[in-house]
Amino acid sequence: MKIAVIGGGAIGLLVSAYLADHAQVTLYTRRKEQADQVREHGITLKRKKNVKKVKVDAKVLRLDEAFVHYELIVVAVKQYSIKDIIPYLMKAPKHTSVLFLQNGMSHVTLAKRLPQRTIYLGVVEHGAMKETDDVVTHSGVGITRVALFKGGDLISFQRFHSDVFAFMQENDWYEMLIQKLVVNAVINPLTALYRVNNGEIIHNSYFYKTAKAVFNELHAVLRLKDPTAYWNRVVDVCEKTAQNHSSMRKDLQQQRKTEVESILGYILEEAAKRQINTPIIHFVYNGILGLEDSGSEGR
């Protein structure tokens, strides 16, 4: 099976390295330097004390790329880069399946425009850190959840399953994305704002109160079916990734654009539609944008 992975960030590298055990993978990157590095040296995958070098092909994403040779295209770029990728996917064959792996919900509307007959949405619950262009650390083992969004279910993702990189196929794509959105909306912005590891959000009583206040506003906007189960999931993720830095905190540390628009921005849009007041989420949202604008976390 031939798979194209678009995105040379932490998740793109991680997914490419593990899928390469089961398929012929080509990683598409924005920069020629990274493509050359991966093509020449492969991807170095680190997990605990284990270090593995994985052979993966790599190419620069060009305007004339049509993805004609692939059965599956995995889109592993940040949410705010999806709009730049859509023109490439519009030219890809209709019979090629597409899998989106993003935080937030903004990509759902864009996915509806694609001509491909089969589209999947997924969420990655692994911890990953990109060290260099060709080195990625698997910092937390989790699950990659995948749900059919459109068309016929052509691919069994269980074929890519391993003990440390498990796949689970879900029936309800919306519920799957909302579960991840709630976790991200509580943990990512608060850890970035307070500059703490994930575990501090529940272990520090003051941070905990803010987290619960954010969650309560999320519940009001999203009308969560089982709020206790959702909150327990947030706590569970904080416990399991207690020493990890959230992706949003890492983005601020490296003075990169965050995904706050696709996470809290989406919540605020939904709140406005339903005329629900969300003062805490507004405060956190503006705080992240302020840090992003000033680059203060990286100083």
pLDDT string in tens for the chain (299-residue length): 999 999 999 999 999 999 999 999 999 999 999 999 999 999 999 999 999 999 999 999 998 888 999 999 999 999 999 999 999 999 999 999 999 999 989 899 999 999 999 999 999 999 899 999 999 999 888 899 999 999 987 788 989 999 999 999 999 999 999 999 999 999 999 999 999 999 999 999 999 999 999 999 999 999 999 999 999 999 999 998 888 889 999 999 999 999 999 999 999 999 999 999 999 999 999 999 999 998 865 44
| Same domain, residue pair 181 and 36 | no
| Same domain, residue pair 155 and 188 | no
Supply the range of the domain harboring residue 228: 176-298
CATH number at residue 100: 3.40.50.720
Catalytic residue among 46, 112, 130, 180: 180
Which contacts of 175-179 are long-range, i.e. CB under 8 A and separated by 24 or more positions? 176/121, 176/123, 176/145, 176/147, 177/105, 177/108, 177/121, 177/123, 178/105, 178/222, 178/224, 179/123, 179/230, 179/233
Q: Is 180 a catalytic residue?
A: yes
| Same domain, residue pair 158 and 15 | yes
Q: What is the pLDDT of residue 296?
A: 63
Given 144, 171, 198, which residue is the final one in a domain? 171
Given 171, 196, 226, which residue is the final one in a domain? 171
Count of structural domains, the chain: 2
| Same domain, residue pair 154 and 203 | no
Q: What is the pTM of this model?
A: 0.92
Given 152, 171, 190, which residue is the final one in a domain? 171
